[in-house]
Structure formats: C-alpha cells, structure tokens
Amino acid sequence: MTWLSVLAGAALILFILRDVFHTIWHPTRHGGLSRLVMRGVWRLSAHHGERWRPVGLAGPVGMMTVVAVWSLVVATGWGLIYWPHMPEDFSYATGLRPSEHASPVDALYVSLVTLATLGLGDIAPTSGWLRILAPLEALVGFALLSATVAWVLGIYPALARRRALALRLSHLRRGRVPGGSLDCAGGAALLDGLASALATVTVDFLQYAESYYFYDGDEKISLAGQLGHAVGLAGRAERARRPDVRLSGSVLRTALDDLAGVLDERFLRTGGTPEEVFTAYARDHGRRPAQP
C-alpha cells in the first residue's frame, strides 16, 4: 500500500510537470491537460452569442483554471507520498496529537504548505529522504509560480499583436482602398507589412496556443472577422500589373495559407481550404466572415 501510494503520487507529479513543460517551455507543442481545460472552458462559453458577456472571460478563466489544476494535482501527488509515512516520520508542534493528524487531508495540508513555500512548521518531516523531498517540492512550487507569471506576461503581448493586425485590416476595409491603388510601390510595401504581421501572429499561435481562446469583443480588433479582407487583398495583388506587387501578393497568400494551416491543425480540424478555415475561425469566435 505504501509503495502504491508513492508511485501514484510520483506519477501525478510527473504528469503535471510534463504538461507544464509542453505548455510553457516547449512552445511548438501544447500540453494535453491544459489544452483540454482551455478548450472545455471555451466550449462552455463561446457559443452563446456575441453579446453574451462571459465569453470574454473564457481565456483568463481558462488560464486560471489550468494553473489551479496544476497546483492541486501536484499538491495531491506529494500528499500521496507523505500520507503513508504519517505520523511516524513527521514531527508535530506542541498541542497537536500525531494520531489525530495523520489523515489524507493532513497530508494534503502539509503538501500545500510546502508547495506554497509558507514554512509553517507545525507538521514537518523528520525522516532523511522526506526531509530532502520537502525542499524539492518547495522548489517545484516556486518554479510553477515563476512559469505562470512568464506565461501570463507572454500571452498579452501576443494578443496585442493579433488585435493590432485586425485593426489594420479593418482600417483598410473601411477605407475602401481602390483596386488600382495597390498597383504601385506603396501597395507592395503595404502587402509586405501585412505578410510580416501575419507571420508574427502565426508564430504567436504556435508559441501561445492559449491565445486562440481569448475573445476579442470589438469587431474591429477581431482577427477572426477581418481575415477575409486580407484574402481579398492577396487576390487583387496577384492580378496586378507590376511584378513587385504580384510578388508581394504571392507572399501574402503564402502567409495566409500558413496561418490557416496552424489554425486548422491545432484548433479547428476542418481539413478545408484556407478560406474555409478562416470561415470556421470566424464562426467559432462568433463573427461573420469578412468578404474578400
């Protein structure tokens, strides 16, 4: 029973550490548990219509839920390791009866106090290997806190870049740029800038997959609702007379194809054309697809 509990606890700890690694420190692969939690929160909130306000909380609430699940499962794992050794291998503060404080709840309490690096000392391990294990748990708790802060600080700049690109496309759409105005050096520069911004957003979706589940309330800053206009600009540029504009249009089309590939592979699973993927993306975010 002792070794079974210890092995189960170690398995839980390793499972969560692997998920943290693949979510935060290995940017080309999203962690399995965190992906399921984020997708679950999104599915519960994102399909109730554009005006349903809680949909805007899906991303932040999803991240908070992921961190809470990580912390609770890690604490439970260490608690399973501590529990079979209580009360024999632990010292208790004056006034505490060891026989009354050796339950799974007490083991979880010790684990949570250690993980949070509180160091209360009312129940502390005395066995040699447990005295080494407890500081290791504190180090994991500190690393988890640091990783969470870095995760949050990375998400919001990615969201700002995505929304800035959407606003730029909205400017071009509302400005009603004439078809012939792209057929010049300025048009080629404009298209190159859009392709560069799309490449950045594509990398953001790879590195911060959780950013997909953040809802953009204003239509003007919603990339899901503005990508159709970028498709239209690429099509117009590819029919231009100037070779530099046609080249820039081809690069923009390739950037759109890459973004569609990432969206479809990681989130939508439509298996369709880039236009179909962008339509599914818009609908998943409660937007009408912009006409090319």
For 45-93, how does the pLDDT look when each residue is reduced to its tens digit (9 = 90+)?
755 554 445 667 888 999 999 999 999 999 999 999 999 999 999 999 9
Residues of the chain with pLDDT below 50 are 50-52
Query: What sign results for the dihedral spanned by CA atoms 33, 39, 45, 51?
Result: positive
pLDDT at 121: 82
**At 184, phi and psi to the nearest 5?**
-160, 175
Instruction: Give the predicted TM-score (pTM) of the model.
Output: 0.85
Write out the E strands in the chain: 90-92, 123-125
The SS3 assignment for 90 reads: strand
The SS3 assignment for 3 reads: helix
pLDDT at 12: 95
C-beta of residue 12 within 8 angstroms of C-beta of residue 76: yes
